[in-house]
Structure 1
Amino acid sequence: MAILEIVIAPDPVLKTVCEPVAEVDDNIRTLVSDMLETMYKAPGIGLAACQVGVTKRVIVVDVSDDKEENQPYCMINPEITWESDEWSVYQEGCLSLPEQYADVERPAAIKMTYLDENGKKQELEADDLLATCIQHEIDHLDGLLFVDHISKLKRGMIMKKLKKIVAAKAAD
Structure 2
Amino acid sequence: MTSLDFLSRVDDITPTPILIAPHPVLKRATRDVRPEDMAQIRDALPGMFSAMYKAPGIGLAAPQVGLGLRFALIDLSEGDVRDPMILINPEIIEESETLASREEGCLSLPNQYAEVIRPEAIRMRYRTLDGTTEECEASDLLATCIQHELDHLDGVLFVDHLSSLKRNMIMRRLAKEQRGK
Tell me the TM-score normalized by structure 2: 0.88
1-side partners of 2:92 and 2:45: how far apart?
20
5+ residue gaps, structure 1, are none
Residue in structure 1 matching 2:123, options 85, 88, 111: 111
The amino acid across from 2:84 in the alignment is: P
Residue in structure 2 matching 1:123, options 135, 160, 164: 135
Q: Give yes or no for contact 1:32–1:117 (8 Å, CA) kept in 2.
A: no
Task: Report the Cα offset of residue 37 of structure 1.
Answer: 1.7
2-side partners of 1:80 and 1:11: how far apart?
26
Could you report, residue by residue, the CA deviation over 1:101-153 in whole angstroms, capped at 9, with x for unpaired residues? 00000000000111111121111111000000000000001010000111111
2-side partners of 1:74 and 1:12: how far apart?
24
5+ residue gaps, structure 2, are 1-12
Could you report, residue by residue, the CA deviation over 1:63-111 in whole angstroms, capped at 9, with x for unpaired residues? 12x3221111100111000000111111000000010000000000000
Task: Report the Cα offset of residue 25 of structure 1.
Answer: 2.3
1-side partners of 2:140 and 2:43: how far apart?
29
Aligned residue number for residue 39 of structure 1: 52
The amino acid across from 2:115 in the alignment is: D
Q: Which has the higher contact order (CA 8 A, sep 6+)?
A: 1
2:84 counterpart of 1:61: no
Identity of aligned residues (%): 52
The amino acid across from 2:54 in the alignment is: K
Aligned residue number for residue 29 of structure 1: 42
1:75-114 mapped onto 2 (5 Å cutoff): 75-114=87-126
Aligned residue number for residue 18 of structure 1: 30
2:159 counterpart of 1:147: yes
Task: Report the Cα offset of residue 2 of structure 1.
Answer: 3.8
Task: Report the Cα offset of residue 38 of structure 1.
Answer: 1.2
Could you report, residue by residue, the CA deviation over 1:31-83 in whole angstroms, capped at 9, with x for unpaired residues? 2332212101110000001001111111000112x322111110011100000
2-side partners of 1:63 and 1:108: how far apart?
17
The amino acid across from 1:15 in the alignment is: K
Aligned residue number for residue 71 of structure 1: 83
Tell me the TM-score normalized by structure 1: 0.93
1-side partners of 2:87 and 2:47: how far apart?
14
Q: Give yes or no for contact 1:32–1:58 (8 Å, CA) kept in 2.
A: no
